[in-house]
Homo-oligomer: A and B are copies of this chain.
Amino acid sequence: MAIELFNNGTHLCLMFDDLIDDENNAAVQANQFLIVDNGHGALLDPGGNMTYNGLLMAMHNYFPPKRLEYILASHADPDIIASINKWMIHADCRVVISKLWARFVPHFCSGSNAEGRIEAIPDEGMNLKLGESIIKAVPAHFMHSEGNFQFYDPISKILFTGDMGASIVHHGEADTPVEDFRAHIQHMEGFHRRYMISNKICRYWVNMVRQLDVEMIVPQHGRPFKGKKMVNEFLNWIEHLPCGVDLMTQDNYRLP
């Protein structure tokens, strides 16, 4: 089901949360996103081969897939863009991704589908024109991927945070924004401690995000954080979480 995160008639943000069969627990739930501004469309983290058919069908009611201009990729993990070969064949879109992964994306593709169609984002980020709006590619390196971007939409004031803020929930729950932050921590904590790289980096990120006007944080897995109060609860939490290399010792590097 498509969830309308924002719609003012000319600018639309959609989330798809139930395209992965996570019933047997084999594949992690993931959200995909469509942003349309004045008839120009971009998919954000469209996912892997499991979601391709479902997303193609589901977005059809809102935007013709063939006319896609961009695929915006936070990084290069399989749940982010393993379907890229199919999208490159279906549409004339360009892939926008960190310069660190620009030469890795062609490995998803057969033949020369990706040739000349990958736009490398420099480490400092960029502003990308979509229709009459701008999408900001905001640096989020090492959260978790080394070359990592989040996408901020100044019209909806949504920050699409990729893995940051992700929660591991069943696909039936991902459409409901977090209501009780304390109760929600259990669905985030294990993931953030192991997949986020270091608390120093999280603090830099929080300092930066506090300068943005954010109405919603929408991660790529699990439930969104809606409203300034909930956004701040998340920022305050992650700012103090030790994670990744902070927690590693020589004990983690022993011969089996």
A residues contacting B by CB (< 8 A) are 20, 24-28, 30, 47-52, 76-79, 82, 85, 100, 103-110, 114-115, 118, 123-127, 136-139, 141-142, 144, 146-147, 194-195, 197-198, 200-201, 204-205, 207-208, 211-212, 244-245, 248-250, 252-256
Contacts of A195 in B (CB 8 A): 100, 146
Q: How many copies does the complex hold?
A: 2
Instruction: Determine which of B49, B123, B208 lies in contact with A110 in the assembled complex, contact meaning CB atoms within 8 Å.
Output: B49
> In the bound complex, do residue B194 and residue A107 qualify as a contact, i.e. CB atoms below 8 Å apart?
no
Measured between C-beta atoms, what is the minimum distance from A15 to chain B in Å?
Answer: 18
> In the bound complex, do residue A201 and residue B245 qualify as a contact, i.e. CB atoms below 8 Å apart?
yes
> In the bound complex, do residue A109 and residue B76 qualify as a contact, i.e. CB atoms below 8 Å apart?
no
> In the bound complex, do residue B197 and residue A146 qualify as a contact, i.e. CB atoms below 8 Å apart?
yes
> In the bound complex, do residue A244 and residue B142 qualify as a contact, i.e. CB atoms below 8 Å apart?
yes
Contacts of A244 in B (CB 8 A): 142, 146, 197
A195: nearest chain-B partner, CB-CB:
B146
Complex formed: what's the CA distance from A127 to B147 in Å?
32
Given A26-B114, A146-B144, A198-B198, A48:B107 Cβ within 8 A: yes
Contacts of A253 in B (CB 8 A): 139, 141, 201, 204-205, 207-208
Contacts of A100 in B (CB 8 A): 194-195
> In the bound complex, do residue A207 and residue B250 qualify as a contact, i.e. CB atoms below 8 Å apart?
yes
Instruction: Determine which of B77, B139, B256 lies in contact with A138 in the assembled complex, contact meaning CB atoms within 8 Å.
Output: B256
Contacts of A49 in B (CB 8 A): 85, 107-110
A168: nearest chain-B partner, CB-CB:
B103
Complex formed: what's the CA distance from A82 to B126 in Å?
28
A and B contact pairs by CB, cutoff 8 A, 24 listed? A24-B115, A26-B118, A28-B103, A48-B106, A48-B108, A49-B85, A49-B110, A50-B109, A50-B110, A76-B78, A78-B107, A79-B104, A82-B82, A100-B195, A124-B252, A124-B254, A125-B255, A136-B255, A139-B253, A142-B244, A197-B197, A198-B198, A205-B253, A245-B245
A115: nearest chain-B partner, CB-CB:
B26
Contacts of A79 in B (CB 8 A): 104, 107
Starting from the known contacts A139-B254, A211-B255, 14 additional A-B residue pairs (CB-CB under 8 Å) come to A26-B118, A49-B109, A77-B107, A78-B82, A137-B256, A139-B252, A141-B253, A197-B197, A198-B245, A200-B248, A201-B253, A204-B248, A207-B253, A212-B255
